[in-house]
Structure 1
């Protein structure tokens, strides 16, 4: 039994002692064709099942499907883990398609496996987006909701022996270490094996010699999706959660995320990252809209939905670059920094979003080779189009000369925008690059970043940027609507969402925040000279409302076979949603008027420097 389990994930990453324990606790059962092996919609699972021979059919909805099972497993297939780990009746129903032999692994011996990195990776590959139906478990949105216990904390001067005793007494595979400077370190079971035992050090060795310092941490309030990605991408066995004051709030493990909405997003992200061909990548990328439907059905807030969509979109772009550059060995991927721009750069992606991009090249890339890179980037953009994402042929894309430059060329261009923001679309380009977020290669654009960090010192440019930002007025009817006598539609992006985005971008620059998202920028600038705390809170609230209405409308369009659009037919909205949009526009307009008045009657140097 141990040999069989060792051949199949997640058991293939388990040590011999753990395998032996699992094997001893397992029981083998035989089922005739048509027999029901389990029905986790009726009762929570008490064990995990592994198929040893034969085929097992799985249904992921309580009502079943007229088209047949949702999944068929053969030898090595594992089922029952969702119900087991959530303790909820969430399915699946498993039936023997033919004579089946399966082993039943009890919950108490298999649950610790899913608290490990191997278990998290298995879950990331196996969790799927469920179709609408019954039995959806309660889910969580932020990493705070995953914290279960008070963190175990020690200090650098304590011995490894003392640390190990605390870890044993508290039943924790880690100890958070706080040094004299307030920095956060971490020592884990893995560290004890790899850095102490393997190095031949004794148990009286100070913890400070073997701990990880600084440890990777995540800020309280971070979406669960981001936190799980941090664990998977860096191979972490646990992740401390800290508040804005730097205090440790708790520690989360890979297995804590099984019931989080991140599960479905990470699953799709992992499927995308493992695609071995362009066709496979396109197929998996086409599932992105259904991820959004699933998240919306689960009642997730709009900002979490857009963050998760951005994470999956980033994975699609990265894998597209992987596959395309592999076909062009003459091009060096290490010399490229790919930047997400626009809504995806701000992690505010919706179904109608154009996937804007730019590229910054290392100085070693010769000018004559940049054209070859741009042709390859056009192939990446074609993959994204085939996956159902929107690429504006006349917009900002890495295949165009304007958006493919070396680091130094970007720096020179940024400085020219500061000197004359009205020339060569300087303000528009500056707005795009301020929202830029590197998703491939070097952190990127160091020269541009340095220029924008000093933007507040250019009061004239800041005033011009503010005027440009406030020129996009929030309104219920555009001039085009008036001339066309259309009073029943609203372009929710242009007439409501974009004015908030522009305000947030400007106030973010004024307080030098590193936040790129609209909500984060507004929070960072709350109480600054041109944005009161009340105004900031109101704008965050209306932005969330507008995004929720926007996403819900686009999902309805998708389900009706229509192309998702930002032009909303007000007659298709509920009276409540129409009222909310009208109220949101009034709130945004009031803030715009206040900022405009203050900019005319105060010294630009005062608010540009962020003084109260």
Structure 2
């Protein structure tokens, strides 16, 4: 046997399920397969022709793309494809797109069938893989039935608009002719307000208002809205949170495209998570909130099995936490009176990124107006203590670093918060870098949103600080992925000697840090990691391949992380024993860590040259 053939045999022998079978199976696989080198120039020939094959990727990176152009999965070393058609006899509908040229082993149908007959384990492996693929597709389609669908796909009518100067009766006639229950008030194609049939009843008929008055006199000004590419779940959450029934849909230029109603959305779903969010917003007492919160862990564990995009679980859990926070602030006001001045409740960290897991703790704070009086601060100290302590009772752990509104250093005016950020950015000490990792991922929850917007405007005026970016990049480089020489895992050990990898600290957190620094550099205000990566495609800081790799790694690690929490392997939180993974998953995990390490090195080179 030649050295080259021996090398191929060594590779094949390590792949599941051949690594569980007699060595003769791997010899048969190698002797009856052929190898092709696939590049962008010959990718169109792959998966074509009358004969079907089992494909095994030896080197390279390839995207398996369906007929609609959607990427089904990314394939790399150790990944199989082509087996669904071998098992079912159906024609292959998908095609390959080469991301990095490489070698592929092709085992013809007749040889695949022989191994199926000879080795039951071989057959079961691919039957299970096919079932998993079908199940995944089933859940994907099921989730896209409502939660994953884009809002723009639900609109059946274009925007029904009218000028602010139009009369109330003219607005009513437009609604009657168009057969709609609301109309948007626009000026120069920009949304100014909304009028609904309920407004006509309550603000006109019940008040005996002159119908010849301008429609602007009865509109709801500056209404809540949603962008066309947001998901149905986001719209439902927004409606439940603010108790609204009509939601304008805008494009990225903020031009109205249409309207969706609560009836439209609720008709599409029958979801326990959405119902629970609604119940949280309507809870009449802290005791009722605590009882409802007990349902969250069980609900999340069952719901995680019904979604294809695992990031949606983080969005859902963050939505539940948002609902708890919002309702607790309202219950506090009922008990202690209205706030003495305007305020904005905000969150940081994983909740702000909408990436919470079952192990996430609290990170939150309060913004006040700049003219707050010293005596008025006591109200907000009590509010912070009330909300954070009840969140703990609802199952959301207190922040170990005390990043909570109960801490006076997490409360402040717009100017005070701006000064804090300015100090961190101009004097980037290790503690400042830790603060930046938390506080630069922020999101508005409830209260006066204009205060939150004012803070963002002031932060945007601080300007780009090269020293700050160099310090951030240097800090990112200090956290290494758990891969050593020869691509071996560098494992940690628990007190009972169990071996594990920390997927959060040594994986997901590094990606979050990398994406954050690029987003800040480009002035991207979004907090969610996937949303930031999507927005980065419009900038020149990262190549599309790098963005895709980071998206892929983040999803894969998050999937493993959530699975470890749900299955509860008696390991530290966010950790997994790689020995419990399949050979394919172990390979994918090593590849993910390798790509993260490359991204770290590129980040340091870009931002911290000469500062290390």
Assess same fold via TM > 0.5: yes
1:251 shift after superposition = 2.4
Superposition map of 1:211-226 within 5 A = 215-226=223-234
Does residue 519 (structure 1) correspond to residue 530 (structure 2)? The answer is yes
Query: 1:259–1:309: structure 2 CA closer, same or farther, 3 Å change rule?
Result: farther
Does residue 301 (structure 1) correspond to residue 315 (structure 2)? The answer is no
- Corresponding position of 1:420: 427
Does residue 252 (structure 1) correspond to residue 263 (structure 2)? The answer is no
Bigger Cα displacement from structure 2, 430-439 vs 232-241 = 232-241
1:515 shift after superposition = 0.8
1:567 shift after superposition = 0.8
TM-score computed with the length of structure 1 as normaliser: 0.65
For the Cα contact (< 8 Å) 2:159–2:256, is it kept in 1?
A: no
Bigger Cα displacement from structure 2, 431-440 vs 163-172 = 163-172
Inter-partner Cα distance in structure 1 for 2:301 and 2:269: 12
Does residue 315 (structure 1) correspond to residue 326 (structure 2)? The answer is no
Inter-partner Cα distance in structure 1 for 2:190 and 2:342: 37
Does residue 472 (structure 1) correspond to residue 479 (structure 2)? The answer is yes
Query: 1:229–1:564: structure 2 CA closer, same or farther, 3 Å change rule?
Result: farther
For the Cα contact (< 8 Å) 1:554–1:564, is it kept in 2?
A: no
1:550 shift after superposition = 1.9
Query: 1:599–1:551: structure 2 CA closer, same or farther, 3 Å change rule?
Result: same
- Corresponding position of 1:396: 403
Q: Any idea what the Cα deviations from partners look like across 1:557-598, whole Å, max 9, x if unmatched?
A: 2xx8x6882011223334444333333222222222223223
For the Cα contact (< 8 Å) 2:249–2:257, is it kept in 1?
A: yes
- Corresponding position of 1:349: 356
Aligned length: 464
- Corresponding position of 1:273: 281
Superposition map of 1:135-284 within 5 A = 138-144=145-151, 147-151=154-158, 153-156=160-163, 164=172, 167-176=175-184, 178-183=186-191, 186-194=194-202, 200-201=209-210, 215-258=223-266, 263-284=271-292
Query: 1:527–1:332: structure 2 CA closer, same or farther, 3 Å change rule?
Result: closer
1:179 shift after superposition = 3.8
TM-score computed with the length of structure 2 as normaliser: 0.65
Inter-partner Cα distance in structure 2 for 1:415 and 1:382: 30
Q: Any idea what the Cα deviations from partners look like across 1:191-212, whole Å, max 9, x if unmatched?
A: 4445555555457x77677655
Inter-partner Cα distance in structure 1 for 2:244 and 2:286: 30
Does residue 584 (structure 1) correspond to residue 579 (structure 2)? The answer is no
1:531 shift after superposition = 1.5
Inter-partner Cα distance in structure 2 for 1:332 and 1:415: 28
Question: RMSD across aligned C-alpha pairs, in angstroms?
Answer: 4.0
Inter-partner Cα distance in structure 2 for 1:245 and 1:335: 30
1:351 shift after superposition = 0.5
Does residue 434 (structure 1) correspond to residue 440 (structure 2)? The answer is yes
Superposition map of 1:74-85 within 5 A = none
What SS does structure 1 have at the residue aligned with 2:492?
Answer: helix
Does residue 499 (structure 1) correspond to residue 507 (structure 2)? The answer is no
What SS does structure 2 have at the residue aligned with 1:457?
Answer: coil
Inter-partner Cα distance in structure 2 for 1:313 and 1:527: 31
Superposition map of 1:450-489 within 5 A = 450-476=457-483, 481=492, 488-489=499-500
- Corresponding position of 2:300: 292
Query: 1:260–1:588: structure 2 CA closer, same or farther, 3 Å change rule?
Result: farther
Query: 1:567–1:166: structure 2 CA closer, same or farther, 3 Å change rule?
Result: same
For the Cα contact (< 8 Å) 2:341–2:372, is it kept in 1?
A: no
Q: Any idea what the Cα deviations from partners look like across 1:510-557, whole Å, max 9, x if unmatched?
A: 111221111122222225343123322332232223222322332222
For the Cα contact (< 8 Å) 1:549–1:577, is it kept in 2?
A: no
Inter-partner Cα distance in structure 1 for 2:526 and 2:257: 22
For the Cα contact (< 8 Å) 1:359–1:404, is it kept in 2?
A: yes
1:383 shift after superposition = 2.6
1:254 shift after superposition = 0.8
For the Cα contact (< 8 Å) 1:475–1:589, is it kept in 2?
A: no
Q: Any idea what the Cα deviations from partners look like across 1:279-326, whole Å, max 9, x if unmatched?
A: 332221121112322332222522222112111112223334444566
Superposition map of 1:358-369 within 5 A = 358-361=365-368
Query: 1:140–1:377: structure 2 CA closer, same or farther, 3 Å change rule?
Result: closer
Inter-partner Cα distance in structure 2 for 1:506 and 1:594: 12
Inter-partner Cα distance in structure 2 for 1:379 and 1:212: 32
Inter-partner Cα distance in structure 1 for 2:403 and 2:211: 58
Inter-partner Cα distance in structure 1 for 2:454 and 2:170: 48
- Corresponding position of 1:535: 546
1:494 shift after superposition = 1.0
2:601 pairs, out of 586, 590, 593, with: 593
For the Cα contact (< 8 Å) 1:143–1:227, is it kept in 2?
A: no
- Corresponding position of 1:39: none
1:266 shift after superposition = 3.4
For the Cα contact (< 8 Å) 2:167–2:211, is it kept in 1?
A: no
Inter-partner Cα distance in structure 2 for 1:201 and 1:388: 53
What SS does structure 2 have at the residue aligned with 1:431?
Answer: helix
Q: Any idea what the Cα deviations from partners look like across 1:435-459, whole Å, max 9, x if unmatched?
A: 1223243444678535531354322
1:168 shift after superposition = 3.6
What SS does structure 1 have at the residue aligned with 2:531?
Answer: helix
Bigger Cα displacement from structure 2, 414-423 vs 498-507 = 414-423
1:504 shift after superposition = 1.6
For the Cα contact (< 8 Å) 1:531–1:595, is it kept in 2?
A: no
For the Cα contact (< 8 Å) 1:345–1:516, is it kept in 2?
A: yes
Bigger Cα displacement from structure 2, 356-365 vs 213-222 = 356-365
Inter-partner Cα distance in structure 2 for 1:336 and 1:409: 13
Specify every segment of 5 or more residues in structure 2 that has no aligned partner in the other structure, as ranges: 1-138
Inter-partner Cα distance in structure 2 for 1:202 and 1:386: 52
